[in-house]
Each structure stands twice: as C-alpha cells, then as structure tokens.
Amino acid sequence: MSFFMDLIILMYGLTASFFTSFVRWLIPVDHKSVSGEVCLITGAGNGIGRLMAIEFAKRRAKVVLWDFDKEGLKETSAMIRELGMDVYTEVCDVSKKDVIKAAAAKVKQEFGEVNILVNNAGIYTSKMLLDLTEHEIENTYKVNVLAHIWIIREFLPSMMERNHGHIVNVASTVGLFASPGMPDYCSSKHAAVGLHNSLFLDLQNAEKYGVKTTLVCPYLIHTGMFNGVHVKYDWILPPIKPQDCADIIINAVLTEQNMVAIPGTMYIAHILSTILPTRALIAGYKFVGADKAISYFKPNRPYQYSNMDPSSGY
C-alpha cells in the first residue's frame, strides 16, 4: 500500500515540477533583489569574476572580492568605485586552506555574514596526464574544487541557521562531459559538479529552502583562460562573450535557477554524451574539431607560464 502512496506522491511531484517549469518558461520570473546583500566572489581580479562583481555592485550588493592577483583586484575595485559603490578586497590564495580561513574570519568581522557566495576562481594547465607534475595536479584540485568546499564550510552554517543565502559554484561543461587534453581540469570540474549537486540535495533534505544554489557550466568563454583554443567550425560552437556569460549567470542567480549551462545547446550536448554509442561520440568530437581544440592553446596566465613550481607562489 505504501508503495502506491509513494507512487502517487511521485506523480504529484513530477506534474507540479513540470507545470511550474512550464509556467516559469512562459512568464519570466521576477529578479530577486540583492541590494545590501554581502556578496563574496572568488577569482574576481579577471574574467567573468570581475564582470559578475560589477553586475552585483550595479545591483547595490556589498561586494567582497578575493583573488591572488593583486593588480587584477585593484582594477576590478577601481571599476566598481567608478560606479559609486563600496568594495572590499582581500588578496587571498584559495588553494591554501589556512589562507581561506583567515580571509573568511576577516570578512565575518567586517560584515557579519556572507549572503551570496560565488565560487568562481579556477585554473587550467594544458597538459596530458603523464606530463603534469604532481604539484600541478594537486593545485588544480585545490583551486577548482577543494577551495569550493573550504569556503562553503566557512559560510554555510550561518546561511543554514538563517535559512537565507545563495551559493554559486562555477564549474564548466567539461564537468558534465569530457573533453580531451585536460585530465586534471576536467576531473576537478566533474568533482565541482558532484559537490554542487550533493550540496543541493542535502539542503533539500534539511528543508533549508531559503538557501539557494546555482551551478554554472559554461562552454569556452573568451576571457583568455583558454587562449587560442577553438573548434574546427567556430560558427557551430562560437566562444561565449564574457559579458554575455556574466549576464546569463546573474540572471540565473536572480531567478534562483539551480543550474545553468551556457549556451543552452550544452544541455543537448550533455544528454547526447550520456546516450550516444562511443563511436558516435568520437565521430561527433572529430566533426566539430573538439579532438584538436586544445592543441591551439597558448598560455596566457602567469600560473600557466610558471610550470607550477611550488616556489613560484602558484
């Protein structure tokens, strides 16, 4: 008997969910206000981290910016001050747990609590598995996924206590399906996706519906992180303009979407990657040139030149 009750509950849940999604698609949801909310963004010294910081500041959030690129942080904060908004910055290497803890303590002292956390800092080194040094592999994991864990652990307890907050985890489409030539990056992004999904379910189980989550999975963005990388037919899969990407992420956060793949065609790519026979998948990769895309990479970030020597600071 209880099986049939459970089945009815499931049917109700499915119908309600599809109906709500359909209505949301027909009638765009209002954007929530982030005015006065403390918003911490990691990796805000460059790329989409900077653009997201500007967008949150425009909406009158109190932005707190972390990055280990001091000059990049200075530039971002100057842009935000030009908007007439205050900004708090901290040079923080998120690959280091103790540094994160110290920086988080400072933020709590200064602002009380963080309401919106954007785990955005990420690194990419273009090497095959056997060419990567042990330090490079560990560092990719430290920045791309372990930092998410340590930072979430700093701010989640208060969000749960208040049943209020929003955690945004920037992963990648290569966290949903694989791409050649990036074993450490790709696997770290898969871990970030798993972390996000698991956190979301735990918050649902704990009935902390006021703590929202957004997983961000972009395809190639023109920020320079993947400098030179391109597929054979760029017109089929053009790189995303950084501002477009930031706008889509902000929209997803303000409408409280749990996940956003950018562009939308990546949802189809994700589904195809799980159902296509292996040979068909390989043929698809070859057709668009995804098999060779990474071979055009030209290093463009300090940590990509330094060969990840631990003494270099990276």
Ligand X SMILES: NC(=O)c1ccc[n+]([C@@H]2O[C@H](COP(=O)([O-])OP(=O)(O)OC[C@H]3O[C@@H](n4cnc5c(N)ncnc54)[C@H](O)[C@@H]3O)[C@@H](O)[C@H]2O)c1
125-to-176, 186, 287, 306 alpha-carbon distances in Å: 19, 11, 25, 10
Look at residues 261, 300, 314, 254 and name the one whose alpha carbon lies nearest to residue 46. Answer: 300
For 155-223, give the DSSP string.
Answer: HHHHHHHHT-EEEEEE--GGGTS--TT-HHHHHHHHHHHHHHHHHHHHHHHTT-TTEEEEEEEE--BTT
**Which positions from 108 through 127 interact with ligand X, judged by CB under 6 A?**
120-123
Of 216, 224, 293, give the one whose Cα is nearest residue 251. 216
Give 3-state DSSP helix, strand, coil % of the chain, rounded to 5.
55, 15, 35
Contact segment (CB under 6 A) with ligand X among 46-54, 201-209, 268-276, 287-295 equals 46-54
Does residue 89 bind ligand X (CB under 6 A)? no
Q: Which is nearer to ligand X, 263 or 284 (by Cβ)? A: 263
**Residue 196 is a binding residue for ligand X (CB under 6 A):** no
Instruction: Determine which helix (DSSP H) or strand (DSSP E) holds 259, and give its type and residue range.
Output: strand 259-262
Catalytic residue among 124, 185, 285, 303: 185
**Number of chain residues interacting with ligand X (CB under 6 A):** 30
- Residue pair 219/267 in contact (Cβ under 8 Å)? The answer is no
Q: Between 208 and 242, whose beta carbon lies closer to ligand X? A: 242
Residue with tokens 């956003």: 260
- Cβ contact 43:122 at 8 Å: yes
Read off φ and ψ for residue 128, nearest 5 degrees.
-80, 160
170 is a site residue for ligand X (CB under 6 A): yes
Q: Is 69 in the site for ligand X (CB under 6 A)?
A: yes
Binding track, positions 224-263, relative to ligand X; x by CB under 6 A: xxx-------------------------------------
The Cα 125–Cα 96 span in angstroms is 18
Cβ closest to ligand X, residue 71 vs residue 110: 71
The correct pick among 45, 165, 181, 183 for binding ligand X (CB under 6 A) is 45
The answer to the question of residue 190 lying near ligand X (CB under 6 A) is no
CB of 221 to ligand X, least distance (A): 4
Lookup: tokens for 198 = 């698991």
* Position 223 contacts ligand X (CB under 6 A): yes
CB of 106 to ligand X, least distance (A): 15
Tell whether residue 72 is a contact of ligand X (CB under 6 A). yes
Q: Closest separation between CB of residue 173 and ligand X, Å?
A: 7
Q: How far is the CB of 196 from ligand X (least distance, A)?
A: 12
- Residue 185 is among the residues annotated as catalytic for this protein: yes
Q: Which residues contact ligand X by CB under 6 A?
A: 42-43, 45-49, 67-69, 72, 92-95, 120-123, 143, 170, 172, 218, 220-221, 223-226, 301
Give the residue numbers annotated as catalytic, written as ranges. 185
